[in-house]
Amino acid sequence: MPLHLKCRSPLYPRSTVQRFPVPDDKVAWNTEFIEYKPPTYTSPSIQGQPWADPEIGRANFSPKWNTLDGKVNRESYMGLYNIVNGYPLNPVGRTGICGRGVLGRWGPNHAADPVVTRWKNTAKDIDKKPILQFIAIKRRDTGEWALPGGMVDPGEKVGATAIREFQEEALNSLEASECEKQVMKEKLDNFFSSGIEIYSGYVDDPRNTDNAWMETVAYNFHDESGSIVSSLNLQAGDDAVGVQWVDITSDINLYASHKDIVNRVLIKHTS
Ligand code: RP5
Ligand code: MG
Ligand code: MG
């Protein structure tokens, strides 16, 4: 089963709402938990937003679960999820909170994560164990270091999301001139065509609820010689407030379950 810890931490993000405590042995929906009375919370910040679903039960909202619903992908990488009383149920288990919290979609909220890597070691470190580094951003919302990922726009290809979000959060492309964008494109088009899928599935995101959760597809873009990525002008943008190369070590601390994702990349390059 995927990690399911950060989505049970007591205080729900960007709110004062406390989750109903869910012990490890009560996570699974098929384990009886008669006392379970989670609060319902949907943040006012998402209500009425064009990128968010309406409330369930509204006349103008007839979602098609477990499938592509128009341009919105409501399919889960975790297989078929259950619908109970009209509400999709988190496929990993209880989180201690109902509603959508701050997530826009009921059910799966699809994201993509780019893991851009290079070797830290230079020629003089030849006898040392090689260290793999990746480009991390500092999230504005929690202050934690994370992959520069983001939400898949309706109709967007997941691979394109990973590349777009990398450019927005780690290269500040949203504030680049047309000319700068063209230079970026020439430098990176070829590199980004070499992406390898590393993970697809559930993310242990602190925003998850019993009815809405994050899923991602993570891609590794690896620069074996480091020559392409070393010429990047790293600059935090959009919802990132910092960006830097980070060594992938065992004591690394990252947002959500991003440590698990970067470890998969490390294993791929070292085993
Ligand atoms: C995580 O949230 C995903 O792995 C991805 O990195 C991120 C997407 O959300 P935003 O960065 O757009 O908030 O669950
Ligand atoms: Mg973003
Ligand atoms: Mg993001």
Phi and psi torsions of 161, nearest 5°: -60, -45
- Tokens coding 153: 């726009």
Q: Calculate the alpha carbon distances from 170 to 112, 118, 230 in Å.
A: 14, 15, 13
Q: According to the model, what pLDDT value does residue 45 have?
A: 94
ipTM confidence score: 0.98
Pocket test for ligand 1, best of 209, 214, 238, 262 (most atoms within 8 A of CB): 214
Q: Whose CA is nearest to atom 6 of ligand 1?
A: 149
CATH number corresponding to 110-270: 3.90.79.10
Distance 31 CA to ligand 2 centre (A): 37
- Using the mean position of ligand 2's atoms as its centre, give its distance from the Cα of residue 101 in Å: 19
Q: List, in order, residues 6 or more apart from 158 with CB less than 8 Å away.
A: 110, 112, 152, 217
Question: Of 98, 99, 96, which is closest to residue 36 (Cα–Cα)?
Answer: 96
Tell me what pLDDT residue 122 has. Answer: 66
pLDDT at position 184 is: 81
Q: What is the pLDDT of residue 233?
A: 87
Domains of the chain: which residue ranges? 110-270
- For a ligand 1 pocket test, name from 100, 105, 135, 147 the mutation site with the most ligand atoms within 8 angstroms of its C-beta: 147
Nearest to 113 by CA among 259, 258, 267, 269: 258
Output the CA torsion sign for 259, 66, 213, 195: positive
pLDDT in tens, the chain (271 residues): 888 999 999 999 999 999 999 999 999 999 999 999 999 999 999 998 999 999 999 998 999 999 999 999 999 999 999 999 999 999 999 999 999 999 999 999 999 999 999 999 765 666 677 899 999 999 999 999 999 999 999 999 999 999 999 999 999 988 888 888 888 888 888 899 989 999 999 999 999 999 999 999 999 999 999 988 988 889 999 999 999 999 999 999 999 999 999 999 999 999 8
Q: pTM to 2 decimals?
A: 0.95
Report the alpha-carbon distance of residue 240 to residue 169 in Å, rounded.
6
pLDDT for 160? 93
pLDDT, residue 176, reads: 85
